[in-house]
Chains A and B, each alone.
Chain A
Amino acid sequence: MAVLDRGRIHTGETAARAVSEPSRLSIRFLVAALILVGLAALLPVLVTSTATERGAALRSLEQQRAELRASVEGLEAEIAVLTSTDHIARDAKLRLGMVEPDRILYVTVEGAAPSTTIPERLLSSTSDSDTEPSDPWWRRLVDLLPRP
């Protein structure tokens, strides 16, 4: 009986040990699974958060682009107004003191019309050939030496 009892006891411990091993594993698995599920649940939040952040940055850039475009258009319009014929005429009168001609006198000059080519004497003395730098003294000296 004792044997039996011991055996029963023995058998009971073995069984308990046999039960506790898989349950520990199960708990580990369960915890791991929970962590994984938790992480998986957080993933969309992270993705959404990143997307929102990017979206906000994108919107900010779009806003900046729109503002810059509006600014460019405004400046272009301002330039156009400032270079308009009316504005030029007004500036010529108000700032430069010019006046509209009320009459133009034409004086006929007997003789041929001016030549299309610019007269030699009116050409600048500093022509391209004049402005070309002359050779340095050492090059002229080198040139005197016999060539190999």
Chain B
Amino acid sequence: MARRQSRSIQSRVSVRRPDRTAIVALTFAFCAIALTGRLAYLQIYRYEDFKTAALDRHLGSERVLAPRGTILDRNGYPLATSIDTFEISVDRKVWRDDPALASESAGRLAPVLGIKAADLLADANLEQSGDYVVGANIAYDSGLQIAQMGIPGVKAERNAKRIYPEGDLASNLLGFLGRDQEGLSGIEADYDHQLGGVAGESVFERDVYGRQIAYARRQITPSAPGDDVRLTIDRYIQRAVELELDRVIKEQNAKGGTIIVEDPRTGEILAMASRPTFNLSNLDLSNPAQASLYRNRAVTDTYEPGSVIKVVTMSAGIDTGVVTPDTTYNDTGVVAIGDWEIHNWDNSANGETTMTQVLQYSLNTGSAFVSQALGSQAFYEYLQRFGFGAVTGLDMQGEASGSVRTPGFDTWSPVDLVTNSFGQGLSATPIQVINAVSAIANGGFLMKPHIVKEVIGTAGRKVIEPETVRRVISSASALTVARMMNAVIDGQYSPAQVPGYHTSGKSGTAGIPVPNGYNTTSSIASFVGFGPTESPVATILVKIDEPREEYGMKVAAPAFSRLMSIILPYLGARPEGSALVDVSDTND
């Protein structure tokens, strides 16, 4: 009995023993498989991820800024150039983890930057993480000194600062850069691709504080420098224009204004200024109120040009042979078009009047006479030939096309033909107006205006040649209209007269459209002209927004005269007729 029990126990024991071993073995096997699986997952499946993470921890990279190209004026004087600087920043985490180290680091960094260590520490500790930028444009020597000091937690990265040698000159033309050295407006934005170059990259091994390990592995992809951009702008003329614009705006307590100077022979813009504008030397990108100042109003904003369009109407009349300078009509002071009555600006009635006098006295009735003689088809065809209703193709972004309603439009009515003939009921940009008048100065050829003369890079020079858009009127018609426009200035007393020179021009006074009519309390006063009449070298448009006085001849013509007096001798135009002697009014 006992033996039987013992055998049964033995058999039970002998049965259990292999089970335990198997369990242990299985456990170990399972663990081994799990570990192998995990290892395979980490080493094979996640290989790239961990490799990247390890490299990220061990390797640092730095963007190698490409030297940005310089913006030059037409004579090669720099308007915007760059100098090397350093951006100094503090890794807050490094300083926060070790306050003693932070204190010591701040003590070493602060004297180089000329600030107090306590202030630096306090500013760096305002936030818990990220980088605290101590200075974005630290002088190169100081930045280099900091970089060589190897202060824990302090990063010194190469940066560049844009310098404007001419101060705030042509600010909304040149534009500005963002913090990442990319152009945000103006030429800086439009030619960012050429000016910016191609940034390089430096990959290096770094220590626990993120500092580059000296003599360790390093790989540099060099940067390609940006091209220089030479503008058609002349800094001397631009300065004269800006001083004059500021003067007129101040005198007239005006809301703003625009002055453009163009070479009619080539379409080159010699100067372009608009107000209000921003100061390059005091730019605050965080201020949303300044955003409206960044645009180049000479190109982006439209207005009703007013009576300056009469020269286009007259050009069309002369070119088609509908009228001659001596053609007369009877000015009764009023023209009736359906239910509408058109009056002269001064409500005058001048009787028998020549076409030259129409321009001299800026008669709306005379303009109506010519436009009706032309007919709507011919009138609008000439308007379009002169470039109205379409962009000029100026090499700047944001150009507006203006609007011209033609008989095809639902809202067009016959009275529009007459009002359009003296510049009302249509809109145009200042660049369109000056370019159209330049076509008259240029013997009837409409040129494509441009502001960039040349792009100079390491690969060579890309010269922008003058481009003729089309012939708009014959050269004989152009000369005839130019002489009629000269009568506007020299044929009577005019504040637009330029001593020593015969010039041609036309004033304009336009209402400011508001819903259901025009603003009766303010106007846009302008004057556009060129000189010398027989061989023009410059066209000038002066446009003043909402001046104290109303009329273009009173507000803008004197500015035209003063500018022409400076610009014509500067451009080498010889005085005509009697020789003149300038006598400066000195007190001695």
For A59, list chain B residues within 8 Å (CB). Answer: 218
For B500, list chain A residues within 8 Å (CB). Answer: 106
B2 is an interface residue with CB less than 8 A from chain A: no
Known: A77-B83, A84-B166, A106-B582. 15 other contacts (CB 8 A): A59-B218, A70-B140, A77-B78, A81-B165, A83-B77, A84-B165, A101-B584, A104-B565, A105-B584, A106-B499, A106-B500, A107-B583, A113-B574, A113-B577, A114-B579
CB under 8 Å from chain A, chain B span 222-260: 235-236, 239
Q: A81-B165, A111-B578 are in contact. Are A105 and B583 (CB under 8 A)?
A: yes
Q: Tell me the nearest residue of chain B to A83, going by C-beta.
A: B77
CB under 8 Å from chain B, chain A span 80-99: 80-81, 83-86, 99
Q: Are A101 and B585 in contact (CB under 8 A)?
A: yes
Q: Are A56 and B574 in contact (CB under 8 A)?
A: no
B99 is an interface residue with CB less than 8 A from chain A: no
Q: Are A113 and B579 in contact (CB under 8 A)?
A: yes
Q: Tell me the nearest residue of chain A to B499, going by C-beta.
A: A106
CB under 8 Å from chain B, chain A span 44-88: 52, 55-56, 59, 66-67, 69-71, 73-74, 76-77, 80-81, 83-86
Q: Are B81 and A84 in contact (CB under 8 A)?
A: no
Q: Are A85 and B236 in contact (CB under 8 A)?
A: yes
Q: A73-B82, A73-B84 are in contact. Are A106 and B165 (CB under 8 A)?
A: no
Residue of B82, B166, B235, B565 with highest tally of chain A CB at under 10 A: B166
Min distance, Cβ B403 to any Cβ of chain A, angstroms:
38
Q: Tell me the nearest residue of chain A to B587, going by C-beta.
A: A99
CB under 8 Å from chain B, chain A span 6-65: 52, 55-56, 59
How far is B579's CA from A114's CA once the two chains are assembled, in angstroms? 7
Q: Are B584 and A104 in contact (CB under 8 A)?
A: yes
Q: Are B585 and A52 in contact (CB under 8 A)?
A: no
Q: A83-B77, A114-B579 are in contact. Are A77 and B584 (CB under 8 A)?
A: no
Which of A55, A67, A71, A85 is B235 in contact with, Cβ under 8 Å?
A85
Mask for B31-50, Cβ within 8 A of A = 1, else 0? 00000000000000000000
B144 is an interface residue with CB less than 8 A from chain A: yes
Q: Are B579 and A111 in contact (CB under 8 A)?
A: yes
Q: Tell me the nearest residue of chain A to B140, going by C-beta.
A: A70
How far is B499's CA from A105's CA once the two chains are assembled, in angstroms? 10
Q: Are B580 and A108 in contact (CB under 8 A)?
A: yes
Q: Are A80 and B165 in contact (CB under 8 A)?
A: yes
A128 is an interface residue with CB less than 8 A from chain B: no
Which of B83, B575, B582 is A113 in contact with, Cβ under 8 Å?
B575
How far is B236's CA from A128's CA once the two chains are assembled, in angstroms? 36
Name B's interface SS.
mixed
For A85, list chain B residues within 8 Å (CB). Answer: 166, 169, 235-236, 239
How far is B64's CA from A54's CA once the two chains are assembled, in angstroms? 22
Mask for B77-98, Cβ within 8 A of A = 1, else 0? 1100111100000000000000
Q: Tell me the nearest residue of chain B to A52, going by C-beta.
A: B215
Pairs A-B, 5 closest by C-beta atoms: A80-B165, A70-B84, A106-B499, A103-B585, A105-B583
Q: Are A107 and B581 in contact (CB under 8 A)?
A: yes
For B77, list chain A residues within 8 Å (CB). Answer: 80, 83-84
Chain A residues bordering chain B, tally (CB within 8 A): 34
Q: Are B581 and A109 in contact (CB under 8 A)?
A: yes
Residue positions of B touching A, CB distance < 8 A: 67, 77-78, 81-84, 140, 144, 163, 165-167, 169, 215, 218, 235-236, 239, 499-500, 565, 574-586
Residue of A52, A56, A85, A99 with highest tally of chain B CB at under 10 A: A85
Q: Are B81 and A105 in contact (CB under 8 A)?
A: no
Q: Are A84 and B84 in contact (CB under 8 A)?
A: no
Q: Tell me the nearest residue of chain B to A69, going by C-beta.
A: B84
Q: Tell me the nearest residue of chain A to B240, going by C-beta.
A: A85
Q: Are A77 and B580 in contact (CB under 8 A)?
A: no
Q: Are A113 and B578 in contact (CB under 8 A)?
A: yes
Residue of A55, A56, A77, A104 with highest tally of chain B CB at under 10 A: A77
For A66, list chain B residues within 8 Å (CB). Answer: 84
How far is B550's CA from A28's CA once the two chains are assembled, in angstroms? 112
How far is B145's CA from A67's CA once the two chains are assembled, in angstroms? 12
Q: Are A105 and B163 in contact (CB under 8 A)?
A: no
For B578, list chain A residues within 8 Å (CB). Answer: 108-111, 113
A102 is an interface residue with CB less than 8 A from chain B: yes
For B565, list chain A residues within 8 Å (CB). Answer: 104
For A4, list chain B residues within 8 Å (CB). Answer: none
Show 26 A/B contacts (Cβ-Cβ < 8 Å), sorted by A.
Answer: A52-B215, A55-B215, A59-B218, A66-B84, A69-B84, A71-B140, A73-B67, A74-B140, A76-B81, A77-B78, A77-B163, A81-B163, A81-B165, A84-B165, A84-B167, A86-B169, A104-B565, A104-B583, A104-B585, A105-B583, A106-B580, A106-B583, A108-B580, A109-B579, A113-B575, A114-B579
A112 is an interface residue with CB less than 8 A from chain B: yes
Min distance, Cβ B502 to any Cβ of chain A, angstroms:
13
Which of A80, A104, A111, A113 is B81 in contact with, Cβ under 8 Å?
A80
Q: Tell me the nearest residue of chain B to A67, going by C-beta.
A: B144
Q: Are A109 and B580 in contact (CB under 8 A)?
A: yes
Min distance, Cβ B265 to any Cβ of chain A, angstroms:
21
How far is B167's CA from A80's CA once the two chains are assembled, in angstroms? 11
How far is B163's CA from A81's CA once the two chains are assembled, in angstroms? 9
Min distance, Cβ B102 to any Cβ of chain A, angstroms:
28
How far is B578's CA from A110's CA once the two chains are assembled, in angstroms? 6
How far is B579's CA from A111's CA once the two chains are assembled, in angstroms? 7
